[in-house]
Amino acid sequence: MQLEYTSLAALLDAAEQAGKPLSELVLAQQAEELEQDPRQVYDRMARCYQVMADGVEPGCDPALRSTSGLTGGNAAKMKAAVQAGRTLTGPVLGGALTRALAISELNAAMGRIVAAPTAGSCGILPAALLTMEQEKSCARHACVMALFTASAVGLVIAKNACLAGAQGGCQAECGSAAAMAAAAIVELAGGSPKMVGDAVAIALKNVLGLVCDPVAGLVEVPCVKRNAAGVAGAFVAAELALAGIGSVIPPDEAILAMKRVGDAMSPALKETALGGLAATPTACRLRDQLLGRDAWQ
């Protein structure tokens, strides 16, 4: 089986022709390439999923704080709102926001996470899958398999665009993670390969041009809250695709558009902390407090 990961359309066509979810093709191909039993490859992915799951509870600790003190404790607030029935959108989206914040805040506090695809966007994909498992009763096995579909999407983006905020802005980090998560959600919901592609395209289109502007150069503000926005965007894209709403622009073209936008973006907007929110008066004050004025002169 030859899966080149240079075109999402080609991968989805292969899944359509095989009459199988994309995840099954990816697992089989990876096992063949690694010369391992598929169960070994699956077990490795299952361990990654367990690390994701294990990050939620410590990430929801009300006392959790990053070294800088800029982030921590917000996942606990979101969790309390969900449990008290005070959310506008209910336990599915509220739960997803909680999990995205928890894992992202745990990352900022130097906890153990899975870069999915990056540390800065680590909360989006886990939050999507864990929410589907816990709020929509998806089987753990199906959630692990959906990680293979998400990984395939990430590989295509990596080969044709980029995943790093320093290269393509936050559209490349949280945007790619949202696209991966949207693909996984659609597969878990029983959507077709075409719906998977539509969800990927929609997720990317909705964050096209998103800049990377970390306050004080730390992956905390606005990164943690963008993880929450990213998983929300993934569910939006999945809902639209599952309703039969297609993307006018195909996913591969959306990926290339993201690359062109990233290439055109000013260096000040690509993780240098010189533009965007990082250049606001409050951000500059926080930067000087945390790092010292001389550090940025």
Residue 29: which CATH number?
A: 1.10.4100
The Cα–Cα gap between 19 and 181 comes to 22
Q: Which two tokens stand for residue 26?
A: 């990816």
The Cα–Cα gap between 61 and 72 comes to 8
Query: Percent of the chain having pLDDT more than 90?
Result: 97
The answer to whether 74 and 101 are in contact (CB under 8 A) is yes
Q: Is residue 1 part of a domain?
A: no
Residue 25's contacts (CB-CB under 8 Å, 6 or more residues apart) are: 1, 3, 11, 14, 15, 18
Domain count across the chain: 1
Residue (of 109, 63, 54, 60) closest to 83 by Cα position? 60
N residues, the chain: 297
Range of the structural domain that residue 197 is part of: 8-296
Res. 2 pLDDT band, cuts 50 70 90: confident
pTM: 0.97
Whole-number pLDDT of residue 212: 98
Q: Is residue 3 part of a domain?
A: no
Q: Is residue 26 part of a domain?
A: yes
Q: Is residue 239 part of a domain?
A: yes
Q: Is residue 157 part of a domain?
A: yes
Q: What is the per-residue pLDDT across 157-195, written as a single tens digit (0 to 9) for each?
A: 999 999 999 999 999 999 999 999 999 999 999 999 999
Q: Looking at the predicted structure, is the pLDDT value of residue 294 above 90?
A: no
Per-residue pLDDT, averaged over 66-90, amounts to 98
Query: Percent of the chain having pLDDT more than 70?
Result: 98
Res. 295 pLDDT band, cuts 50 70 90: low
Whole-number pLDDT of residue 92: 98
Q: Looking at the predicted structure, is the pLDDT value of residue 1 above 80?
A: no
The Cα–Cα gap between 262 and 117 comes to 17
Residue 142's contacts (CB-CB under 8 Å, 6 or more residues apart) are: 188
Q: What is the per-residue pLDDT across 48-58, written as a single tens digit (0 to 9) for each?
A: 999 999 999 99
